[in-house]
Amino acid sequence: MKAAVVFEKGQAPQYADFPEPKVIQENEALVSVKVASIKNLDKARASGKHYSTENNVHQPTIVGSDGAGYLENGSKVYFFSKKGTVAEKVVADRKMMVEIPEDLDFSIAAALPNAVMGSAMALRFKVRMQPGDVVLVNGATGITGRIAVQIAKLYGAKKIIVTGRNQESLQVLRELGADEVVSLQLNDEDFKEKIREIHRKTPIDVVLDYIWGHSVEMILSAFKGDGTFSHKMKLVTIGEMSGDTIQLSSQILRGTDIQISGSGLGSWTQEEYALLFSEIIPEMFQAAVDGKIKIETEEADIKNIETVWNGEIQTGKRLVIRI
């Protein structure tokens, strides 16, 4: 069969022949893949730089971690697999499949779940978001941040504040449900004062962070308590586009009622992960059909995988490979 294969660590995948997979376990099924999405996660895993693959010995590997296609009985499904998904055929665990509504396009079905995973799992299981919560999404202009705004709205957020650098994208976020935007292009003191001002007027309950780095240092500094009682907050980090480390003052943690955690592969329980496929993704597929969640895609043919792998994708769009 044809697939997108990384033969040497650090190189772009190539359109090449690869052995067709075979169903071995009872819980597995063969999927004829129609489309597969490409995300930062996939690029990091393919390069060996992601924490889930950094200790692996590299061998020729199919890229991708999810996609959409048909089962042998004709059922239309989304699936997740660590064995690679940008290929004509994929064997996947039936527990990591979701039936796709007939009215939902394959490309949307392939593009949406990873962004859902990056926000719904954090909101439901890491911060236990409640209707009426005030939510700050830090670094919201990317595809996952845009979905986070829409899911927070679906989950009943009272107010949604977003940060980002791209002014055009920040305005798009208003259309998707954001109530207030804060530019990361402000100088440090102005940015912190803007966060303090918002927090004084409508205390922030939840921070979803997609970029980490200096912006989180500023947000935590803005929340720093003064020795009096402070509002209880939860900050969960989901990405690290601005850097993997921060400097964190002990005084912030001692003087502020704030809980810091992370959300990603390895941080969820088996029960929570199962709910992603049995409840969360189906709910979001239906929301997409109903027009309550919107996601944009940019499509390319698998034959062009080497060209598009490191190419520029428009902000707010997910790359989807047609197979």
The whole-model pTM stands at 0.90
Tell me the domains of the chain and their CATH numbers. Answer: 2-100+293-322 (3.90.180.10), 118-262 (3.90.180.10)
Q: Which residues pair with 323 in a beta bridge?
A: none
CB atoms within 10 A of CB 24: 7
**DSSP at 123:** I
pLDDT in tens, 188-244: 999 999 999 999 999 999 999 999 999 999 999 999 988 888 999 999 999 988 889
Query: Is 302 a residue whose pLDDT tops 60?
Result: yes
Q: Which DSSP string do the residues of 263-323 spell out, in sequence order?
A: -STTSS-HHHHHHIIIIIHHHHHHHHHTTSS--EEEEEEGGGHHHHHTS---TTEEEEEE-
Rounded distance between C-alpha atoms, residue 212 and residue 240, angstroms: 5
pLDDT at residue 53, rounded to an integer: 57
Integer distance in angstroms from the first to the last C-alpha of the chain? 11
The pLDDT of 254-277, averaged and rounded, is 94
Query: Is 54 a residue whose pLDDT tops 70?
Result: no
Contact between 319 and 308 under an 8 Å Cβ cutoff? The reply is yes
Rounded distance between C-alpha atoms, residue 147 and residue 243, angstroms: 22
Which residues lie closer than 8 Å to 81 by C-beta, 6 or more apart?
65, 66, 90, 91, 92, 93, 96
